[in-house]
């Protein structure tokens, strides 16, 4: 899933507001940049049983242009507007 321009701009602004640096924690270069897609993390309601049918948390990713390190940022924490299940486009995350 590629990020549309509005979502990308919202995320970039939210990362700046959160003081999320673009300095890579691995190689130290100023090289972290937003990747063009998101990663959906399944939220497991029960640690004893694996289920893929529950809510998912969308994560935006920033990759280092120098060493390839990838950082994840929870989109729902960065910006409440982005706090939704991207499969159904509904705001049904457990933290609501
Ligand atoms: Zn790096």
In angstroms, the CA 57 to CA 30 distance is: 27
- Ligand 1 centroid to Cα of residue 50, in Å, is 33
- Ligand 1 centroid to Cα of residue 27, in Å, is 4
Q: Is the pTM of this model over 0.85?
A: no
- Ligand 1 centroid to Cα of residue 63, in Å, is 8
- Ligand 1 centroid to Cα of residue 32, in Å, is 7
Query: pLDDT (tens digit, 9 = 90+) per residue, 48-71?
Result: 877 777 778 889 999 999 999 999
Residue pair 36/59 in contact (Cβ under 8 Å)? The answer is no
Burial class (CB in 10 A: 0-12, 13-18, 19+), 46: exposed
- Ligand 1 centroid to Cα of residue 82, in Å, is 27
pLDDT band at 92 (very low <50, low <70, confident <90, very high): very low
């Amino acid at each position: 899933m590629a990020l549309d321009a509005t979502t990308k701009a919202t995320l970039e602004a939210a990362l700046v507001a959160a003081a999320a640096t673009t300095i890579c924690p691995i190689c130290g270069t100023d090289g972290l940049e937003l990747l063009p897609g998101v990663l959906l993390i399944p939220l497991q309601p029960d640690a004893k049983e694996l289920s893929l049918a529950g809510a998912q948390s969308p994560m935006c990713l920033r990759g280092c242009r120098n060493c390839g390190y990838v950082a994840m940022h929870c989109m729902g924490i960065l910006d409440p507007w982005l706090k939704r299940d991207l499969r159904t486009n509904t705001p049904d995350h457990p933290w609501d």
